[in-house]
Structure 1
Amino acid sequence: MSEILHSPGVLALELSPGATPSSFTLGREAADALARHIADDLLRLLPAERDGAGADQADLLVLGALYDSVQLLHPGWPLFAGLSELAHHSQALAGAEGGRIVAFGSHAGAMPGDALQPLVSDPPSPLLLVPWTFSAPEALATDLGARMESVFMAKGEAGRATADFLMRTLGVRLEHARYLTRHDLCALICSQLEHAGYSALWQMLEFALLYPTRSGEASTARGQKLVFRDGAVHCALPVYADWAAAFGAGRSREERVTDYAGWLFELRQYVALLGAHGVAVRFDGDAGATSLPAQRLAEPDPSLPPPTLFSHEARGLGVVVISVAQIAPDRRVRLLAHAWPLDQAGFDVGLPQFAARYGASEQLVRLGGIELDATADDLAVTLPGPAMH
């Protein structure tokens, strides 16, 4: 079934503060019942017109589950794609004249396909979404899509019967239940992210979701440049020396340490949020070969002792940079590379890889903070005490 034949939307549920649904999936009977309520609402909102068809003339496909917006807003819209694929193999419920109602619920809590299983955060998001789509010949689907865009934002509230059914079934109170198009949902999430100071994140997501073949760039609140191209977000390695050259002027040594840690924290947030939306982050200049983005400075000198890993740390963030260095007999430090653990998974997988790449032990020598050189313009490794233990 061609994508152009679908006009997708969501039923957006705003939960009361602190509310948690009794389940994030609906059994098959409950999913069927919800689909009928949604069909009644859509027929009320999109009735047949003299010069245009109504909602009851298109097939209505409904996923009987509750999803966080992060899971739904992925490149390629996989939840909608999965819903359309399921429709090829479905048995239709008895629908209104001209259209079928097709609902997909869970069995023992499991949806029909791992990709359709809700990913539940703790605590759950206060905004949960029920995906659905019209499926119809091109002209009808296009007409319904245009009417959805003009109607839903103005008067898209779900009917009382639909809201009551959901509150009884899920065991929660709802502040609002309303219908949104994908563009409405994007506008809502854009507003939320901009309000939280993540305008650059939305700009990257917008390219990934709506314009995946285009390129564009944005800067974060702390000045990190992000570029979307070839289906991924690209940025420079978080090299301290580059950060200091761009942002360090007029800052004391202590301020540089604190502000660089904040810059890395922001980067971690962006990597985590983009990853949750299924958007990869690539680091230009990455030395590669490990799961940790790394800056290569030199190759090991075989005449010196084996390299050692040193960890730069920041309060509340743990290890923020790993430096690998060789220590000469006269205690000179020969730096070989720096690497940045941006999430726990990358650290767990990347640390052994990074150690193996340089023939070092995985044991980290803790520096107790972010160590800088004498001018505070670059990272450094300071040996503890008169001798290493």
Structure 2
Amino acid sequence: MAEPVFRGVFALELAGGAAPGRPALSPEEAGELAARIGRDLAALVEGVAGLDLVLAAAHFDPAEALRPGWPLHQRLAELHARAPGRGEGPRVLAFGADAQGEVPLPFQAEAALAGGGLRVLPFLLAGPAGAVASVAEALEDKLLQFGMARPDTALAAQDGFHARIEHARYLSAHDLAAMMAMQYENQGLAPLWSLVEAALLAPRDVEWLDAGPEPLLRLENGEVRMALFDPSGWCAHYQGGQAAEGECERLQRVYEHFLARQRQLAAVLEAHGIPVLYVHADGSGDPRILLAQAS
């Protein structure tokens, strides 16, 4: 059974959206930042100081931290399990660049997702189950409202990453997910969030996006099947089979917008580490049945 942990992130809001100059901190810098983060969290919630803190001193796009199976946090848990000193008191562990300045593969952020104005450093708290549960409940209650980092912590991150940081704060993984849900709603992507959320929190569930004129998607077993319509199949499905002769040709521009929306949704899902597989739907049958059979 996996050791209980609290998953969190140290979130850096970049001034003007300017990308940090460094992807990860040196071992010495990583240790100093982790110590400050541990101090900040311990000041918020009694009991944090009695747990191990494990930090990835490398920054990522929020979507990289919100992937099925929580791979960044899982990697931290694996490193924590192998670290020396277990049973000798609370530990502060930090992982960033190596002594040569190279960033190990598990903590290399994806270049394609590097342009956002919010970057996050994953961390976890680990220890006895009861202590972790108590601390986790308190942090979930407090971080969103009171989780601003102290000025010297924010300055250490700013100097270490060669970044211009406007705000630095602590969030639980659930806080980050809620923030992303609001952002997606503002961007017109709210219908997609139910699939991302299910992949994160209920990976065994089947979830549909079946709300025309949106693309038709089905999530199962950690992957999404998307109906790939040709023009006639799209017209038959989304126009209810009632389009008059020549009507589908007139709607060609609408169909092209639909294809662009498919590409947009697929890109968001893939940013969250959710693979997208396409199932051809030519309008000769119910595409929902095709997606269910293909899973």
Scaled to the shorter chain, the TM-score interval is: 0.7 to 0.9
Q: Secondary structure at the match of 2:225?
A: strand
Would you say the 8 A contact 2:13–2:117 is kept in 1?
yes
Instruction: Tell me how far 1:254 sits from its aligned partner.
Output: 5.9
> What is the CA–CA distance in structure 2 between the aligned matches of 1:26 and 1:252, rounded to whole Å?
59
Matched, 1:153 2:144: yes
> What is the CA–CA distance in structure 2 between the aligned matches of 1:44 and 1:122, rounded to whole Å?
33
Instruction: Tell me how far 1:171 sits from its aligned partner.
Output: 2.5
Would you say the 8 A contact 2:61–2:114 is kept in 1?
no
Would you say the 8 A contact 1:25–1:106 is kept in 2?
yes
Partner residue of 1:15? 14
Q: Secondary structure at the match of 2:17?
A: coil
The count of aligned residue pairs is 278
1:19-38 correspondence runs (5 A) = 19-38=18-37
Would you say the 8 A contact 2:14–2:118 is kept in 1?
yes
Instruction: Tell me how far 1:253 sits from its aligned partner.
Output: 5.8
User: What do residues 11-41 of structure 1 show as CA deviations (whole Å, max 9, x unaligned)?
Assistant: 1110011322110111111100110110110
- Match of 2:166, as an amino acid? E
Instruction: Tell me how far 1:3 sits from its aligned partner.
Output: 3.6
Change in 2 beyond 3 A, CA 1:121/1:254: same
- Match of 1:71, as an amino acid? E
> What is the CA–CA distance in structure 2 between the aligned matches of 1:122 and 1:253, rounded to whole Å?
37
Partner residue of 2:266? 271
Structure 2: gaps of 5 or more residues: 285-295
Would you say the 8 A contact 1:59–1:136 is kept in 2?
yes
Partner residue of 2:58? 65
Matched, 1:5 2:1: no
Matched, 1:110 2:102: yes
Would you say the 8 A contact 1:66–1:128 is kept in 2?
yes
Would you say the 8 A contact 2:73–2:123 is kept in 1?
yes
Matched, 1:180 2:171: yes
1:227-306 correspondence runs (5 A) = 227-248=218-239, 249=243, 255-284=250-279, 286=280
Instruction: Tell me how far 1:122 sits from its aligned partner.
Output: 6.8
> What is the CA–CA distance in structure 2 between the aligned matches of 1:245 and 1:144, rounded to whole Å?
54
User: What do residues 176-228 of structure 1 show as CA deviations (whole Å, max 9, x unaligned)?
Assistant: 11110011000000110111011122111111111000112124673322222
> What is the CA–CA distance in structure 2 between the aligned matches of 1:188 and 1:243, rounded to whole Å?
34
1:320-359 correspondence runs (5 A) = none
- Match of 2:68, as an amino acid? P
Change in 2 beyond 3 A, CA 1:169/1:115: closer
> What is the CA–CA distance in structure 2 between the aligned matches of 1:25 and 1:276, rounded to whole Å?
20
> What is the CA–CA distance in structure 1 between the aligned matches of 2:85 and 2:92, rounded to whole Å?
6
Instruction: Tell me how far 1:173 sits from its aligned partner.
Output: 2.3
Higher relative contact order (CA 8 A, sep 6+): 2
Identity rate, percent: 32
Would you say the 8 A contact 2:64–2:271 is kept in 1?
yes
- Match of 1:90, as an amino acid? A
Change in 2 beyond 3 A, CA 1:134/1:69: same
- Match of 2:271, as an amino acid? A
> What is the CA–CA distance in structure 1 between the aligned matches of 2:278 and 2:115, rounded to whole Å?
31
| Range 265-274 or range 205-214, more displaced | 265-274
Change in 2 beyond 3 A, CA 1:197/1:3: farther
> What is the CA–CA distance in structure 2 between the aligned matches of 1:255 and 1:276, rounded to whole Å?
34
Looking at CA atoms only, which structure, 1 or 2, has the larger radius of gyration?
A: 1
Choose which of 81, 85, 96 in structure 1 pairs with 2:74.
81
Instruction: Tell me how far 1:252 sits from its aligned partner.
Output: 5.1
> What is the CA–CA distance in structure 2 between the aligned matches of 1:14 and 1:4, rounded to whole Å?
31
Structure 1: gaps of 5 or more residues: 48-53, 287-293, 298-389
Instruction: Tell me how far 1:233 sits from its aligned partner.
Output: 1.5
| TM-score normalised by length of structure 1 | 0.66
Partner residue of 2:288? none
> What is the CA–CA distance in structure 1 between the aligned matches of 2:228 and 2:35, rounded to whole Å?
52
Would you say the 8 A contact 2:212–2:238 is kept in 1?
no
Would you say the 8 A contact 1:29–1:105 is kept in 2?
no
> What is the CA–CA distance in structure 2 between the aligned matches of 1:277 and 1:41, rounded to whole Å?
29
- Match of 2:103, as an amino acid? M
- Match of 2:69, as an amino acid? G
Large movers: runs of 4+ above 6 Å: none
Would you say the 8 A contact 1:26–1:106 is kept in 2?
yes
Change in 2 beyond 3 A, CA 1:220/1:265: farther
Change in 2 beyond 3 A, CA 1:220/1:165: farther
> What is the CA–CA distance in structure 1 between the aligned matches of 2:210 and 2:101, rounded to whole Å?
42
Choose which of 138, 145, 159 in structure 2 pairs with 1:168.
159
| TM-score normalised by length of structure 2 | 0.86
- Match of 2:34, as an amino acid? A
Q: Secondary structure at the match of 1:67?
A: coil
Q: Secondary structure at the match of 2:90?
A: coil
